[in-house]
Amino acid sequence: MRFSTLKLFNQFKTIRICNNQIVQSSRFTVQNDLTRRQIDKIPIKLSSIVCLYSSDSKKHLLEIEKKAESIKNVFEQKKVQIKDTEQKIRQKGEELVKDFRHQKEVTGQMLKIKKDHLVKDILETKAKVREKIEGVVERENIFTIPNVLCVARIAMSPYLGYVILQDNYNLALGLLVFAGFTDLLDGYIARNWEGQSSKMGSFLDPMADKVLIATLFISLTWQELIPLYLTLLIVARDAALVAAGFVIRYISLPPPKTLSRYFDATHATAQLAPTFISKLNTAVQLLLVGTTLASPVFGYVDHPALQALCGITAASTIVSAISYLVSKDTYKVLKKKL
């Protein structure tokens, strides 16, 4: 009896334990179900959050991509604009260079044309001036026989002085006679032959006489046949007359006064008119040098007559120089006859 009661009690206890376990298991199951349900609910919320986040990110990325694309498009447009600008600048530069070259060529042509016009104007002006000068200044033929004889006398003078310095008085006397003959001959031809007289001869003939006389006086003074004072007086007077001739040439030459025109002997601008005293003085000087040059040949060196002739020559030289200063008709400026 007791055993059966104990057995029942154990069975009851076992049943109770089992019921507890079942209740616990059922609780656990219920709890697990609740937990599972909660867990099942959580992923839904998380997925929605993730989806929401991912959709926002995609929108942001799309906006960024759109902005990047727009920036890229703007950059491409700017790049194209820069290329267009560079091309325009290059074209503009080429056009400027072309215009500059064209302008340079045009300017060069214009300058050349102006230069040609200027040269033409200068030549025309020069021709007009020459025509005017021709209308004022008389041209003449200077290649005449009297002028040739005067030039020959001038060229012979240095050789005559050399012969005197070599004590060859015979040859020197012969050359002096020849020079005197040419002096008489050129005067005769100029006065009597038509077309042989020239204004240039009025300068050339007295110059030839002065060169010859100065050469003779200097060489004879070196040989101690003529006093030094007389030679200095005659050379100074002749040098002053030659210088006056150059001044008269300059004064009588109409503008433009150029060297080429100044030394152009075909332009006769003035004519000399020696005074009577000057002609007499030239004759006295030639007589003195002639007789002095002949004195060693005929043996009358230091003759008193020569000393007296030296004094007469000095006096006539001074008087002739004064006559040139006092007289107003010693030269005449020439103008072309209309």
| Whole-number pLDDT of residue 192 | 85
Residue 128 has pLDDT above 80, yes or no: no
Integer CA distances (angstroms), 14 to 9, 29, 101, in order:
8, 21, 124
Residue 331's pLDDT band, with cuts at 50, 70 and 90, is: low
CA nearest 233: which of 328, 333, 137, 321?
321
Contacts of 190 (CB under 8 A, 6+ apart): 144, 146, 196, 197, 198, 201
With contact defined as beta carbons under 8 Å apart, do 275 and 324 qualify?
yes
Q: What's the pLDDT at 11?
A: 52
- Kindly tell me the burial class for residue 113, based on how many C-beta atoms sit within 10 Å of its own C-beta (0-12, 13-18, 19 or more): exposed
Give the three-state DSSP class for 72. helix
Give residue-wise pLDDT tens across range 42-92: 444 444 544 555 566 677 777 787 788 888 788 788 888 888 888 888 888
Residue indicated by tokens 């503008």: 255
Distances (CA, A) of 229 to 62, 210, 306: 130, 17, 15
- On whether the CB atoms of residues 226 and 220 are closer than 8 A, the answer is yes
